[in-house]
Chains A and B, each alone.
Chain A
Amino acid sequence: MEPASETELSEAIRGAGGPLSVRGGGTRVTWRPERGAVLSTAGLSGVRLYQPGALTLVAGAGTPLREIESVLAEKGQRLAFEPMDARALMGTGGVSTIGGVIAANVSGPRRVMAGAARDFLLGVRFVDGAGRIVKNGGRVMKNVTGYELVKLMAGSHGTLGVLTEVALKVLAVPEAEATLVFHGHDPAAARAAMAAALRSPFEVSGAAWLDAGAAGGEGETRLRIEGMAGSVAYRAGRLAGLLGSGWARVDGAESAALWREVRDVLPFAGGTGAAWRLSLRPSAAPGLLRDLAAGPAHRAMMDWGGGRIWLEIADGPSDCGADGGVAAVRGALARAGGGHATLIRAPDAIRAAVPMFQPEPPGVARLTRALRERFDPEGRLNPGLMGPAEVPA
């Protein structure tokens, strides 16, 4: 089904006899089993308003991300939350939509400074599981008129409603960028360097570490600075002075390439093992990685100064096992003080057995289940994707 308007979408949902699988570009979420008829948002496409001088863009949820990025680039602007192109990691084709980006709250390396996708979302229109057409927010940055369903819809993966239109805050593309690079940090040393950088007044807009696959767990730490040319030169110099010797500096297109690699998790591209994405307290990251050294073989990447970890659990019956590393990962995360681990990519058999999202404590789980029941009483929208089949005892 590919409704061409919000009203048609509402009718399609109302008339659905069973579960619906909501699809934007199909590039990001490949959960199994995907049940029911595919409901595509491709017909809800097009930039509806763009005011560069007000930093505002409004578009249909089915608008291709690349179309939005190109419209913005023409005016020297961009989506500052740096959403990943998931196709390399996921092994998918297709064309990512802005609705999919928002529904999955896809946020890249710059999140550490600028905020997540949901922090740039000014307004939404959506159709819920009962076919109800709802709007919330608007197109202005300061808006405290009633409840923030805008935030609730971001990251809801289509389970509360199908987004039909989004209003976004955009920002300028800065004049210059530079990245400081250090080879040979282990996770603890990397985390310390990233923390020192993020504590400084030099507005670091990216702080990541990629393992080199080396036995000693050493890898490459990257710190990004963006802004006006003079400002970047000054801040990169001050930051280098703060960090000490051994750092190389890379500018412009070369710097951008380093961050596309982080953004798109390219080191794990083409792999078939389970890929996990963790959010945790940054200072707990090295401990968690040490803890996991005793578990299934894996590769790791830290982003957000350690506040985000990507893990690729090696493929193969003896390594990945039947559980995709879920016991090891969730156990290590609990011992690291909590946060959440999301199974982003997995072989089909593991997908079928392991829930994608972090299990919720009972009180929270009751609320999220009740919200899903409110907005989707018949359980039509991506049923079973978020939340357990039954509330845990």
Chain B
Amino acid sequence: MDMPTPDPAVLARRPELIRRLREVLPADAVIADPAETRAYECDALTAYRCPPMAAVLPASTEEVAAALRVCHDLGVPVVPRGSGTSLAGGALPTADCVILGVARMNAVLETDYDDRFIRVETGRTNLSVTGAVEADGFFYAPDPSSQLACAIAGNIAMNSGGAHCLKYGVTTNNLLGVRMVTMAGEVLDIGGPWSDAGGLDLLGVICGSEGQLGVVTEAWLRILPKPEGARPVLMGFGSNEVAGACVRDIIEAGVLPVAIEFMDRPCIRATDDFSGAGYPDCEALLIVEVEGSDAEIDEQLAVILEIARRHEPVELRESRSAEESARIWLGRKSAFGAMGQLNDYMCLDGTIPVSELPDVLRRIGELSDRYGLKVANVFHAGDGNMHPLILFDANTPGQLELCEQMGAEILTLCVEAGGCLTGEHGVGIEKRDLMNVQYGPEDLAAQMDVKDVFDPEWLLNPAKVFPLAASEGRRRPGAGRSAA
């Protein structure tokens, strides 16, 4: 994986950097000991590691601003970090950067059930946002599967989704405002506890900008009343085509489930062996979940089951209890764990138009045969987000590279089918070099122009998102650096 060469002039300024950071931050907020900076050498894309020059853990917006001003003055790149759960290398350092972690900033600042928002410091974990409001009957909807650990800061940077997003949207649809610090140390409030932008939608472009436009320290988030209940139904089908047709028919019938999950045979086999969930022996499996009161759930499921029956399912399994519902979900929820027990695996997250699923799965099967690497597929069928899991052996030299090559072909295939490279995980470094598959030079230039406006010196997370060749002219070493 290409990364920019660490700038020797920046590395030479390390002693001054540490000294000046210690002038503006408490002692325990500046981490300079190499034994300790190693803890920040990677995120959840563990194949790539590089300890930063230093790490800072500010506890307030003012401390974030002070740290950024020091780095800006000295021309030191900064890589923001939430909980470090990124699967795309979003928080991967370079040797000449400072990691700025917001994990210490996790307070709830304001909760308002009348106006239905919560204001939090962005180092707070996703699940603990819901945790702060669930006793009062509310929840925060975007729920990535890493939600126990991932931070709101990272969710905003990556515009994270989750199982609920078919009905409730992703982070950008649930974000009302942010307090953000620019690389120059300016503190801006964008949006607030009201709806929509009054002018240009800066909030909309900040969300999903992968830590490249500013460091978001506080956020106003939409909270929603919890539905009265939810219930899944499990359907087994004889082919991917039939399962895909069933999804299409459910949506065309006007029902909007809260989740539609798809698993293919390899995935069903592996997870069933692992979890003992007792899934049917079939080519494709759907789990469809709906919400409401018991009677409303029955009303929706009546329509869904009637549609399912028209497709001659191998099995239909309804739930009569919370326990049965949990059993239906058990296999799906242990899918990644099951794969992990079998093998090392690479999880992709390309998105495709829902109608293309059977065709794309067939072509993934062909790639699997050609590369000799097995693939199991999990798919958010409601919104087209695929998670092909490529199984490989990290201990065999060359397998990781082979896996990456195959992954690149799968993502290219997703784009060719009318979809995109990444539906949830973001570009980071992982898909950076595939950006030219989806976007032309003018498309990428327009995005980089936005970064030029927010961070003219390209100090914030500069090596991510854009192919290095494309961003090179804007990441000029020494540009905007003042003399040490």
In the bound complex, residues from chain A placing their C-beta under 8 Å from that of B199 are 155, 340, 357-358, 360, 364, 368, 386-387
Q: Does A52 contact B (CB under 8 A)?
A: yes
Q: Does B385 contact A (CB under 8 A)?
A: yes
Bound: A174/B453 CA distance, A? 44
Bound: A347/B221 CA distance, A? 38
In the bound complex, residues from chain B placing their C-beta under 8 Å from that of A48 are none
Nearest A residue to B200 via CB reads A368
Nearest B residue to A148 via CB reads B208
Tell me which of B159, B200, B247, B299 has the highest count of chain A C-beta atoms within 10 A of its own C-beta: B200
Q: Does B165 contact A (CB under 8 A)?
A: yes
In the bound complex, residues from chain B placing their C-beta under 8 Å from that of A76 are 254
* Docked complex: A134-169 residues within 8 A CB-CB of B: 134-136, 138-152, 154-156, 159-160
In the bound complex, residues from chain A placing their C-beta under 8 Å from that of B247 are 53
| Given contacts A172-B256, A201-B226, A360 and B169 within 8 Å (CB-CB) | no
Distance (Å) between the CB of B159 and the closest chain A CB? 5
- Looking at the complex, which one of A56, A118, A358 makes contact with B201 (CB distance below 8 Å)? A118
Bound: A340/B448 CA distance, A? 29
Q: Does A16 contact B (CB under 8 A)?
A: no
Q: Does A352 contact B (CB under 8 A)?
A: no
* Docked complex: B271-304 residues within 8 A CB-CB of A: 292-293, 295-296, 299-300, 303
Distance (Å) between the CB of B50 and the closest chain A CB? 23
In the bound complex, residues from chain A placing their C-beta under 8 Å from that of B426 are 144
Q: Does A51 contact B (CB under 8 A)?
A: yes
Bound: A273/B379 CA distance, A? 54
Docked-complex contact A147 and B196, CB < 8 angstroms:
no
Bound: A147/B50 CA distance, A? 26
Tell me which of A140, A195, A308, A375 has the highest count of chain B C-beta atoms within 10 A of its own C-beta: A140
In the bound complex, residues from chain A placing their C-beta under 8 Å from that of B226 are 201
Bound: A374/B78 CA distance, A? 25
Tell me which of A128, A171, A172 has the highest count of chain B C-beta atoms within 10 A of its own C-beta: A172
Q: Does A339 contact B (CB under 8 A)?
A: yes
Which of A228-236, A248-256, A289-297, A312-320 lies at the binding interface?
A: A228-236
Docked-complex contact A111 and B195, CB < 8 angstroms:
yes
Docked-complex contact B450 and A152, CB < 8 angstroms:
yes
| Given contacts A54-B355, A148-B204, A136 and B446 within 8 Å (CB-CB) | yes
Docked-complex contact B204 and A151, CB < 8 angstroms:
yes
| Given contacts A134-B446, A140-B419, A283-B115, A148 and B380 within 8 Å (CB-CB) | no
Q: Does B143 contact A (CB under 8 A)?
A: no
Distance (Å) between the CB of B282 and the closest chain A CB? 22
Which of B14-22, B346-354, B389-397 lies at the binding interface?
A: B346-354
Docked-complex contact A140 and B172, CB < 8 angstroms:
no
Docked-complex contact B201 and A230, CB < 8 angstroms:
no
Q: Does A173 contact B (CB under 8 A)?
A: yes
Distance (Å) between the CB of A200 and the closest chain B CB? 6
Nearest B residue to A228 via CB reads B299
- Looking at the complex, which one of B209, B253, B423, B442 makes contact with A143 (CB distance below 8 Å)? B423
In the bound complex, residues from chain B placing their C-beta under 8 Å from that of A156 are 200-201
In the bound complex, residues from chain B placing their C-beta under 8 Å from that of A138 are 418-420, 438
Bound: A361/B191 CA distance, A? 12
Per-position 1/0 for B425-449, Cβ under 8 A of A: 1110001000100111011111101
Bound: A386/B197 CA distance, A? 13
- Looking at the complex, which one of B188, B296, B384, B435 makes contact with A228 (CB distance below 8 Å)? B296
Per-position 1/0 for A332-374, Cβ under 8 A of B: 0000011111100000000000000110110110011011001
Total cross-chain contacts (CB, 8 A) = 262
Docked-complex contact A142 and B424, CB < 8 angstroms:
yes
In the bound complex, residues from chain B placing their C-beta under 8 Å from that of A338 are 192, 194
Q: Does B202 contact A (CB under 8 A)?
A: yes
Docked-complex contact B114 and A279, CB < 8 angstroms:
no
In the bound complex, residues from chain A placing their C-beta under 8 Å from that of B188 are 361, 363-364, 367
Docked-complex contact B172 and A148, CB < 8 angstroms:
yes
| Given contacts A139-B353, A142-B384, A279 and B205 within 8 Å (CB-CB) | no
Q: Does A115 contact B (CB under 8 A)?
A: yes
Residue total for A at the interface (Cβ-Cβ under 8 A): 86
- Looking at the complex, which one of A111, A199, A340, A386 makes contact with B116 (CB distance below 8 Å)? A199
Q: Does B249 contact A (CB under 8 A)?
A: yes
Bound: A119/B195 CA distance, A? 12
Bound: A368/B251 CA distance, A? 39
Docked-complex contact A339 and B194, CB < 8 angstroms:
yes
In the bound complex, residues from chain A placing their C-beta under 8 Å from that of B173 are 115, 119
Distance (Å) between the CB of A148 and the closest chain B CB? 5
In the bound complex, residues from chain A placing their C-beta under 8 Å from that of B445 are 132
In the bound complex, residues from chain A placing their C-beta under 8 Å from that of B197 are 105, 155, 340
Docked-complex contact B384 and A146, CB < 8 angstroms:
no
Per-position 1/0 for A272-289, Cβ under 8 A of B: 000000011111000000
| Given contacts A132-B442, A172-B256, A147 and B447 within 8 Å (CB-CB) | yes
- Looking at the complex, which one of B201, B208, B303 makes contact with A154 (CB distance below 8 Å)? B201
Docked-complex contact B384 and A140, CB < 8 angstroms:
yes
Docked-complex contact B351 and A143, CB < 8 angstroms:
yes
Nearest A residue to B165 via CB reads A142
Docked-complex contact B425 and A144, CB < 8 angstroms:
yes
In the bound complex, residues from chain B placing their C-beta under 8 Å from that of A368 are 199-200, 202
Distance (Å) between the CB of B234 and the closest chain A CB? 21
| Given contacts A115-B173, A143-B423, A281 and B194 within 8 Å (CB-CB) | yes
Bound: A374/B453 CA distance, A? 8
Distance (Å) between the CB of A140 and the closest chain B CB? 5
Bound: A342/B383 CA distance, A? 35
Q: Does A75 contact B (CB under 8 A)?
A: yes
Q: Does A175 contact B (CB under 8 A)?
A: yes
Docked-complex contact B423 and A136, CB < 8 angstroms:
no
| Given contacts A53-B251, A116-B195, A231-B292, A146 and B202 within 8 Å (CB-CB) | no
| Given contacts A138-B419, A228-B300, A231-B296, A279 and B201 within 8 Å (CB-CB) | no
In the bound complex, residues from chain B placing their C-beta under 8 Å from that of A159 are 200
Docked-complex contact A234 and B252, CB < 8 angstroms:
no
In the bound complex, residues from chain B placing their C-beta under 8 Å from that of A281 are 115, 192-194
* Docked complex: A100-136 residues within 8 A CB-CB of B: 105, 107, 111, 115-116, 118-119, 128, 132-136
In the bound complex, residues from chain B placing their C-beta under 8 Å from that of A44 are none
Q: Kindly list 8 other residue pairs between chains A and B, CB separation below 8 angstroms, not including A144-B159, A357-B199, A361-B188.
A: A128-B446, A140-B383, A143-B422, A146-B439, A201-B227, A231-B295, A231-B296, A364-B202
A: residues with CB less than 8 A from B are 51-56, 75-76, 105, 107, 111, 115-116, 118-119, 128, 132-136, 138-152, 154-156, 159-160, 171-175, 195, 198-201, 203, 227-228, 230-231, 234-235, 279-283, 304, 307-308, 337-342, 357-358, 360-361, 363-364, 367-368, 370-371, 374-375, 386-387
Q: List 28 A-B contacts (CB under 8 A).
A: A53-B252, A53-B354, A105-B196, A105-B201, A136-B447, A139-B353, A140-B351, A140-B385, A141-B384, A145-B431, A148-B159, A148-B207, A148-B208, A149-B446, A150-B204, A151-B172, A151-B207, A155-B196, A227-B296, A279-B194, A279-B196, A280-B194, A337-B193, A340-B194, A364-B199, A375-B449, A386-B200, A387-B199
B: residues with CB less than 8 A from A are 112-116, 137, 158-159, 161, 165-166, 169-170, 172-173, 182, 186-190, 192-205, 207-209, 225-228, 247-249, 251-256, 292-293, 295-296, 299-300, 303, 351-355, 380, 383-385, 418-427, 431, 435, 438-440, 442-447, 449-454, 465-466
